[in-house]
Structure 1
Amino acid sequence: MTTLNGQDPTLGNRAASATLWGGVNMALGRVVQFATTIIVARLMAPEHFGALAVAIVVQTVATNMAELGATASLARGTGDPDKIAPTVFSIALVTSGIMTASAIVLAPSLAAAFDDPAATPVIQVLSITILLQGIGAVPSTMVWREFLQKPRVVVDLCSLVTVLVLVVPMALDGWGAMALAWSRVGGQLVAMAGYWMITPKRYAPGFDRVAAVEILRLGMPLAMANLVVFVTLNVDYLLIGRMLDPTALGLYLLAFNLAGLPSSVITAVIRATAVPTFGRLYSEGTLGALASKFVTGVSYCAFPISAMVTALAHPLIVTAYGGAWAPAGIALATLGVFGATRILVELFADLSVGAGRTGWLFWVQVAWLATLTPALFLGITWWGIAGAGIAHAAVACLVVIPVYVTSLTSVLHTSAWKLLRGSIRPLVAASLAGAAAWLATQGMANPAMALAAGTLVGSVLYVLLTFRQGQQLVAEVRGLLRVKAGTPGPSIAGRPESAGQR
């Protein structure tokens, strides 16, 4: 059975349900994570967060190289998992083990590169999570592939609660950055066990040479692109650690994580279903007609949040973490702009993976890194941690987004105007709302009152300026829910804007 657009309604139903539960998962997860950060920030000094930042850089780069992008073939949902999952498991297990061992052995040198020797044991402990993620790579991908977001809520929430339960007594006992590292290991262990319990089918390691060739053909460019993008997103930590001091790095880490909170929530909700949905839509020939709708929806949600973070950076930092962290506010103000652009970049990358076009992603990331590194050096030299935020925002807006749009238009056979036109109104409205929120808080001495007043003013103005577009988006969501419930309504695709296929 298909809809009027020729799309399988089962995919729309499953994607809608998974997106709903993915949103619930992210909302609960971010609330717990935010609460944990607030508690820990009031128990630890900024330099402890600096040591954690160094360890996270190493862990992130190693994790995203560990399975060589092999899970992408499994996640797309277009192949037989019985044929490819055992080989994916073997690749992930071997490479994650090598990466874990390498991180442990090279930890002193890696910490020295950041000019923070205290980070050595933190890197070694946190590297355990690389192996745990490799062991759970196939189960977690199968949960993703089959849209099992409802049981995943329980797993992810248990993982986050484990982190909270472990980190607080350790921090009170004076463990410092090691409390942050060991609590993350505990949380990852719980997550790995949970995915093995809820996966629709369990696989043992195996190896098929033909499957391995196809897996690595798709996965290796993605792995290389991921390596470059995570180096890109962490080169600021390296430069700040070398050019400033651990306290500045800790302040910047807190600001970067807070600025990235909206983007992490929205992209995580999208990625709950994005790659498997985009992969199936591409196979059906409807992905090209839908890309602009995804861009519009993401922009509508992301831009106002980032505008509020930018406009209310100082009262937000002080209200959440206390006056000791106030110097991080200036970095948060500039990083808020980068948060919005990062959401679009993540969506563009998922569209490319869904279409099976991963090769050019690597070169996009190379261009990003090549332009960001000198920009960061100059920004940090001139303006300290605030300059790092300025560099991120400038490069993302002036280089990365244009390059992505140029590449995507050729892959999806559309124009830049069609792809981005739905995001123009949210961008203008969010900018005006942010300016109004900032003006409303000038002269207010109480940070909490300023945060509340600015949020209210900015939110109301944004809703008024985008009311008609918001109504249209709500109508489309209701249409999705009617289809999910089995009543007549538009398909998940809506009506294609043109007859062309992307």
Structure 2
Amino acid sequence: MTTVRGEGRTLGNRAASATLWGGANMALGRIVQFATTIIVARMIAPEHFGALAVAIVVQTIATNMAELGATAALARGNGDPDRIAPTVFSIALVTSGIMTGAAIALAPALAAAFDDPAATPVIQVLSITILLQGISAVPSTMVWREFLQKPRVVVDVCSLLTVLVLVVPMALDGWGAMALAWSRVGGQVVAMAGYWIITPARYAPGFDRSVAVEILRLGMPLAMANLVVFVTLNIDYLLIGRMLDPAALGLYLLAFNLAGLPSSVITAVIRATAVPTFGRLFQDGTLGALAGRFVAGVSYCAFPISALVIALAYPLIVTAYGDAWAGAGIALATLGVFGATRILVELFADLSVGAGRTVWLFWVQVAWLVTLAPALYFGIQWWGIAGAGVAHAAVACLVVIPLYVKALTTVLRVSAWQLLSGSLPSLLAAALAGVGAWLATHSMGNPFLALAVGALLGTAIYTALTFHRGKRLVAEIRTLLSENRAAPQEPATTPSHITGSAGQP
């Protein structure tokens, strides 16, 4: 039976509550973020988004390497945080400091690699967030581990509102890409402070060699996998920046972010509880039996959204951002396919981490990068920014998903059919809904009308085709959550002290 630290509640109830609040958090966050992007896109030129894209590539790669995957051991929920957390904190603090310094020093060379010297100061400013995330690595992981998504809503929304409050006057004052960079630093400061306030236990840095070996054995393959996957997901920016121009890179960044919006929302909601939940289920020996149902449930929610993004790409871009960004529409249409596959890829990655098989995860990412790089080069050379979307979709469907399925069927002892069959009806219904929406709207001259009609029609088609299946999936999920009970226990006292040091941080 699953033991839940600090609670006598069922794991299912805690996961359900955290998922609900995580969903609300992501919905509010994405609304604010989407509104911010719309506002800023109407104030600055596409090339400024290109400079930000370069800086985000550097920041994202450094951030995900900064704690060497050590927080994974803390997040899985089946180890003693009092023993693990101080060492994790030390690793995160030291490595994030090194990464921050390196990013600032190497910013000119990194910007030159993307053929965008204007990105140098943007990289240097955005690098500050690497250190800030290292300082908050343990508190944010403890919030995740203990399913504290309700207070996290307040922290994340305050962080996003800080970004909005800072970026608008800066953009109006002509700061360009620097407005985007400094506003993100301000938002990260607020998030860091918020996580330290709401964390269920505060820890000071410490170091235990045996613990470090243990957590790095799990974390290093994950950190390397993160490095590879973020290089994979950002190599398109490098190639577009080198092969095309900063304006094309800005258009592509906007299209990529919009295409990834469904996957980022859905995977973030799942990730609010996935790794701790999957880790406990794997420990109980029930993860394999339930994995196919998780895949079916995620597919049911994700596929129709991506299908409508593909079908309504042009009116969506023009309605949201204006005619100046119309060139991003063709990239959005091809990237929409990748957006749908990425949702499954992220779920498969979380299943791998929950099962503790991070080495598998690393080699899948390596294969992804090796096949994607040449596909992107030829795709961009032949079809411009639309070709990048084609390359992403082809490699995800033909290489990445099959490799993940192979890995998971081995680890979880299930067949590929058991893992994927539940998602096929949703895929077919979403495709029909997307086709119906496109046929009804592709000749309309008013983008806003086309978007409204297409979204309503596509939603109606998908709902009609999957109504009974949707009800059944909801019932199954409720049953799974209620049946997955924790062992009866006395509630443990959650430590509020600072391990290894006196006083408050």
TM-score > 0.5, shorter chain as reference: yes
2:300 alignment counterpart: 300
Which residue type is aligned with residue 166 of structure 2? L
1:51 alignment counterpart: 51
Deviation at 1:464, TM superposition (A): 1.2
2:352, 2:360 within 8 Å by CA — same for their partners in 1?
no
Q: How far apart in 2 are the matches of 1:492 and 1:45? A: 54
List alignment gaps of at least 5 residues for structure 2: 487-505
**1:267-308 deviation line (CA, Å, top 9, x unaligned):** 000000000000111111111111001000000000000000
1:391 alignment counterpart: 391
Q: How far apart in 1 are the matches of 2:290 and 2:480? A: 14
1:26 alignment counterpart: 26
Deviation at 1:79, TM superposition (A): 0.3
Q: How far apart in 2 are the matches of 1:477 and 1:207? A: 41
Which residue type is aligned with residue 250 of structure 2? G
Which residue type is aligned with residue 89 of structure 1? F
Deviation at 1:492, TM superposition (A): 7.8
* TM alignment of 1:254-269, pairs within 5 A: 254-269=254-269
Q: Does 1:411 align with 2:411?
A: yes
Q: How far apart in 1 are the matches of 2:443 and 2:371? A: 38
1:191 alignment counterpart: 191
Greater RCO, 1 or 2 (C-alpha within 8 Å, sep 6+): 2
Which residue type is aligned with residue 83 of structure 2? K
Deviation at 1:360, TM superposition (A): 1.5
* TM alignment of 1:461-476, pairs within 5 A: 461-476=461-476
Where 2:69 maps in the other structure, the secondary structure is coil
Deviation at 1:466, TM superposition (A): 1.2
Which residue type is aligned with residue 257 of structure 2? N
2:10, 2:484 within 8 Å by CA — same for their partners in 1?
no
Q: Does 1:84 align with 2:103?
A: no
Q: How far apart in 1 are the matches of 2:462 and 2:12? A: 30
Q: How far apart in 2 are the matches of 1:117 and 1:245? A: 12
1:69 alignment counterpart: 69
* TM alignment of 1:275-290, pairs within 5 A: 275-290=275-290
1:69, 1:223 within 8 Å by CA — same for their partners in 2?
yes
Q: How far apart in 1 are the matches of 2:442 and 2:99? A: 50
Q: How far apart in 2 are the matches of 1:437 and 1:492? A: 43
**1:123-155 deviation line (CA, Å, top 9, x unaligned):** 000000000000000000000000000000000
Which residue type is aligned with residue 383 of structure 1? W
Q: How far apart in 1 are the matches of 2:279 and 2:128? A: 32
Where 1:414 maps in the other structure, the secondary structure is coil
TM-score (structure 2 length as normaliser): 0.94
Length, aligned pairs only: 482
2:10, 2:485 within 8 Å by CA — same for their partners in 1?
no
Q: How far apart in 2 are the matches of 1:459 and 1:165? A: 34
Which residue type is aligned with residue 186 of structure 1? G
TM-score (structure 1 length as normaliser): 0.94
2:2, 2:485 within 8 Å by CA — same for their partners in 1?
no
Deviation at 1:193, TM superposition (A): 0.3
Which residue type is aligned with residue 119 of structure 2? A
Which residue type is aligned with residue 288 of structure 1? G
**1:419-470 deviation line (CA, Å, top 9, x unaligned):** 0000000001111110000001022111010001011111111111112211
2:93 alignment counterpart: 93
Where 1:147 maps in the other structure, the secondary structure is coil
Q: How far apart in 1 are the matches of 2:398 and 2:355? A: 25
Deviation at 1:474, TM superposition (A): 2.4
**1:315-372 deviation line (CA, Å, top 9, x unaligned):** 0000000010000000000000000100100000100100111011111011000000
450-459 or 134-143, larger mean C-alpha shift: 450-459
Residues 480 and 286 from structure 1, CA distance in 2 versus in 1: closer, same or farther, beyond 3 angstroms?
closer
1:211 alignment counterpart: 211
* TM alignment of 1:447-486, pairs within 5 A: 447-479=447-479, 483=482
Deviation at 1:479, TM superposition (A): 4.2
Q: How far apart in 2 are the matches of 1:166 and 1:480? A: 44
220-229 or 437-446, larger mean C-alpha shift: 437-446
Deviation at 1:476, TM superposition (A): 2.9
1:39 alignment counterpart: 39
Q: How far apart in 2 are the matches of 1:2 and 1:141? A: 20
Q: How far apart in 1 are the matches of 2:398 and 2:185? A: 38
1:276, 1:354 within 8 Å by CA — same for their partners in 2?
yes
Deviation at 1:475, TM superposition (A): 1.9
2:381 alignment counterpart: 381
Deviation at 1:183, TM superposition (A): 0.2
1:9, 1:491 within 8 Å by CA — same for their partners in 2?
no
Deviation at 1:44, TM superposition (A): 0.6
Q: Does 1:152 align with 2:165?
A: no
1:338, 1:393 within 8 Å by CA — same for their partners in 2?
yes
Which residue type is aligned with residue 240 of structure 1? I
Q: Does 1:122 align with 2:122?
A: yes
Q: Does 1:372 align with 2:372?
A: yes
2:363 alignment counterpart: 363
Deviation at 1:10, TM superposition (A): 1.2
Which residue type is aligned with residue 379 of structure 1? G
Which residue type is aligned with residue 236 of structure 1? D
Where 1:60 maps in the other structure, the secondary structure is helix
1:17 alignment counterpart: 17
Q: How far apart in 1 are the matches of 2:2 and 2:127? A: 47
Which residue type is aligned with residue 117 of structure 1? P
Deviation at 1:9, TM superposition (A): 6.1
1:480, 1:492 within 8 Å by CA — same for their partners in 2?
no
Which stretches of structure 1, 4 residues or longer, exceed 6 Å deviation after superposition?
none
1:142 alignment counterpart: 142
Q: How far apart in 1 are the matches of 2:477 and 2:128? A: 41
1:436 alignment counterpart: 436
**1:175-208 deviation line (CA, Å, top 9, x unaligned):** 0000000000000000000000000010000000
Q: How far apart in 2 are the matches of 1:108 and 1:491? A: 53
Where 1:205 maps in the other structure, the secondary structure is coil
Q: How far apart in 2 are the matches of 1:236 and 1:288? A: 35
1:162, 1:183 within 8 Å by CA — same for their partners in 2?
yes
Q: How far apart in 2 are the matches of 1:400 and 1:19? A: 27
Where 2:205 maps in the other structure, the secondary structure is coil
Which residue type is aligned with residue 105 of structure 2? V
Residues 214 and 2 from structure 1, CA distance in 2 versus in 1: closer, same or farther, beyond 3 angstroms?
closer
Which residue type is aligned with residue 210 of structure 1? S
Q: How far apart in 1 are the matches of 2:335 and 2:68? A: 30
2:11, 2:484 within 8 Å by CA — same for their partners in 1?
no
Percent identity (aligned) = 83
**1:10-63 deviation line (CA, Å, top 9, x unaligned):** 101100000000000000000000000000000010000000000000000000
Q: How far apart in 1 are the matches of 2:350 and 2:229? A: 14
1:16, 1:480 within 8 Å by CA — same for their partners in 2?
no
